[in-house]
């Protein structure tokens, strides 16, 4: 049975928008908006990994940050564990942050270089729990072992570790408050290829052990495939296709997803398909094209694509796409 069957979503995002104002002049007047996230809806179920993919600048990281309420939504709603968290503030938001954590792309930038790793990991626990020092230290030691580090890491500083080890520390910090949902934003893209699979396997193991739900953000479709139950493809701030991983890779429906998948190197020459090379660059999100935002680059563009925006709809069981080629 798939993770989505007979379950209520742990996270429900509806019509989420995040626009950043463009300011100009001495008076800093708003002259437009960058539509980083433009009307996205998605459900994430307990225990699943939802992969979010797209080229850099497509809005996937802003989607993650807005769900975590690190950025304020411009419009739309976010429900987490049955609670509307769209506008929560102060102590309620603080409490929710225990359950919603993030693993960042660059672990070094997100770890305070002047703090001992033991203190970095103890900090979130101290902020939320009144526990004796020895108990917190024991919890931190336990976390270090869980992410594959040794006890002596407690007394070291971030610069004393390799990139892969630092990402393990970042993961331990995200786990410190026993969250329900972790948003991992490109967690392996800054790492050597040889280390990437170790960190991905660690995340999978921890997911089982801690019953975690993941949103896994990446630009690399082969990394997302390894991790995800379902995958959402984003283009220019919009969700253009959502499907179960295996269905998306077997039969991508959106021309953009087809192009992304055709760029993944396949070792077996008999299984290789012709690479689809897209013309032009991703348009400016401050001035997106009319109609389907992919139309200036689409090899199948039709007159209606320039005028109307296709909506995401289910065209096969559990497979949604936003494209006029499909109904």
Distance CA 112, CA 109 (A): 8
Map the footprint of ligand SF4 across residues 26-55, applying CB under 6 A.
none
- The nearer residue to ligand SF4, 287 or 290, going by C-beta atoms, is 290
Stretch that binds ligand SF4, among 69-77, 102-110, 140-148, 294-302 (CB under 6 A): 294-302
Distance in Å, CB of 105 to ligand SF4, minimum = 29
Distance in Å, CB of 101 to ligand SF4, minimum = 35
- The nearer residue to ligand SF4, 45 or 294, going by C-beta atoms, is 294
Size of the site for ligand SF4 (CB under 6 A): 14
Distance in Å, CB of 235 to ligand SF4, minimum = 9
Contact call for residue 108 and ligand SF4 (CB under 6 A): no
Map the footprint of ligand SF4 across residues 295-324, applying CB under 6 A.
295, 298, 300-302, 305, 310, 323-324
Token pair for 159: 């610069």
Binder of ligand SF4 out of 100, 174, 292, 312 (CB under 6 A): 292
Contact call for residue 325 and ligand SF4 (CB under 6 A): yes
Q: Which residues contact 264 (CB under 8 A, 6 or more apart)?
A: 221, 222
- The nearer residue to ligand SF4, 312 or 323, going by C-beta atoms, is 323
Q: Which residues contact 196 (CB under 8 A, 6 or more apart)?
A: 188, 223
Token pair for 207: 């997911």
Contact call for residue 176 and ligand SF4 (CB under 6 A): no
| Binding-residue pattern over the window 220 to 259 for ligand SF4, x denoting contact by CB under 6 A | ----------------------------------xx----
Q: Which residues contact 16 (CB under 8 A, 6 or more apart)?
A: 37, 39, 40, 41, 63, 66, 67, 73, 75, 76, 77, 78
Distance CA 1, CA 314 (A): 20
Distance in Å, CB of 260 to ligand SF4, minimum = 13
Segment (H or E) for 300: none
Distance in Å, CB of 215 to ligand SF4, minimum = 24
Q: Which segments of the chain does DSSP mark as H helices, in order?
A: 60-67, 90-99, 107-110, 117-128, 133-146, 163-175, 193-210, 221-227, 245-250, 255-262
DSSP 150-199: -GGGGGS-GGGS-HHHHHHHHHHHHHTT--SEEEEESTTTTS-HHHHHHH
Distance in Å, CB of 37 to ligand SF4, minimum = 19
- The nearer residue to ligand SF4, 196 or 293, going by C-beta atoms, is 293
- The nearer residue to ligand SF4, 105 or 293, going by C-beta atoms, is 293
Token pair for 155: 């007394």
CB atoms within 10 A of CB 216: 27
3-state DSSP call for residue 266?
coil
Distance in Å, CB of 309 to ligand SF4, minimum = 9
Q: Which residues in this chain contact ligand SF4 in the complex, by CB under 6 A? A: 254-255, 292, 294-295, 298, 300-302, 305, 310, 323-325
């Amino acid at each position: 049975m798939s993770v989505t069957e007979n379950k209520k979503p742990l996270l429900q995002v509806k019509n989420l928008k995040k626009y950043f104002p463009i300011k100009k002049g001495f008076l800093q007047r708003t002259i437009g908006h960058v539509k980083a996230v433009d009307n996205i809806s998605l459900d994430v179920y307990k225990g699943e990994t939802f992969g979010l993919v797209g080229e850099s600048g497509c809005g996937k990281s802003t989607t993650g940050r807005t769900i975590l309420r690190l950025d304020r939504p411009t419009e739309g709603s976010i429900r987490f564990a049955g609670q509307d968290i769209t506008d929560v503030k102060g102590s309620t938001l603080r409490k929710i942050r225990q359950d919603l954590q993030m693993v960042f792309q660059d672990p070094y930038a997100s770890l305070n270089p002047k703090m001992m790793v033991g203190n970095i990991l103890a900090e979130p626990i101290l902020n939320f729990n009144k526990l004796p020092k020895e108990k917190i230290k024991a919890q931190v030691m336990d976390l270090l072992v869980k992410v594959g580090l040794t006890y002596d890491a407690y007394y070291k500083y971030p610069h004393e570790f390799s990139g892969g080890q630092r990402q393990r520390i970042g993961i331990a910090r995200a786990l410190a408050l026993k969250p329900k949902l972790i948003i991992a934003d490109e967690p392996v893209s800054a790492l050597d290829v040889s280390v990437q699979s170790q960190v991905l396997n660690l995340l999978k193991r921890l997911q089982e052990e801690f019953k975690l739900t993941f949103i896994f953000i990446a630009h690399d479709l082969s990394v997302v495939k390894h991790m995800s139950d379902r995958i959402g493809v984003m283009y220019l701030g919009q969700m253009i296709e959502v499907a179960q991983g295996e269905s998306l890779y077997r039969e991508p429906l959106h021309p953009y997803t087809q192009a992304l998948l055709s760029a993944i190197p396949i070792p077996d020459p008999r299984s290789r398909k012709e690479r689809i090379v897209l013309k032009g660059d991703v348009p400016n999100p401050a001035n997106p094209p009319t109609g389907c935002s992919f139309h200036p680059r689409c090899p199948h563009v039709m007159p209606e694509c320039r005028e109307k925006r296709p909506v995401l709809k289910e065209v096969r069981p559990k497979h949604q796409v936003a494209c006029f080629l499909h109904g």
